[in-house]
Amino acid sequence: MPQSLHKTSIKLQRVQLAVLGVTAVLAVLMAGRVWASIRNVDTPSPSVNTRAAVTSLPQGGPRIETELVTVLRTGFEPLEISRPRGPFFLEVDNRSEGDVNLRLERLGHERIKARALLTTAPEWQEELNLPPGDYVLSDANHPDWTCRITITPN
């Protein structure tokens, strides 16, 4: 075999191994996410979420926290969120196995947002910057399903 053909063959093998490695890592990550979501479908814990994930915007922009709310077959998880004023991402993940008609309302005031989460498109994320006060995230189809969101002045 000529030397140049041998070098090309070695390079091709290296590329194939790299692609195989990346594919294996992605498969393991996806399997872990699926397992975690299946494991947590019916185990809500009625806790107050006072910690949020931090999302960094591209190009060195400001860091904005994300508040994750999961809709299960039994209602919202967590039941309450408390956070200081300022912009944040509200992410809602529908794992209830049915359509959800979300409403975000300020207590005693107007509706802020309304969004349908279908089983075919079960996720919603939006940046919000709410003034201090008490808010309720609810499902129009299940009036007893609520997540209270408190925005504090600081």
Model confidence pLDDT, tens digit, residues 140-149 = 999 899 999 9
pLDDT, residue 47, reads 44
Q: Are 131 and 85 in contact (CB under 8 A)?
A: yes
- Relative to beta strand 80-84, strand 142-152 is parallel
pLDDT, residue 10, reads 74
pLDDT-derived band at 14 (thresholds 50, 70, 90) equals confident
Please write the tens of the pLDDT for every residue from 24-75: 555 555 655 544 544 444 444 444 444 455 554 556 677 899 999 999 999 9
pLDDT, residue 124, reads 93
Average pLDDT, the chain: 79
Radius of gyration of the chain (CA): 22
pLDDT, residue 32, reads 56
The maximal CA–CA distance of the chain, rounded, in angstroms, is: 81
pTM above 0.95?
A: no
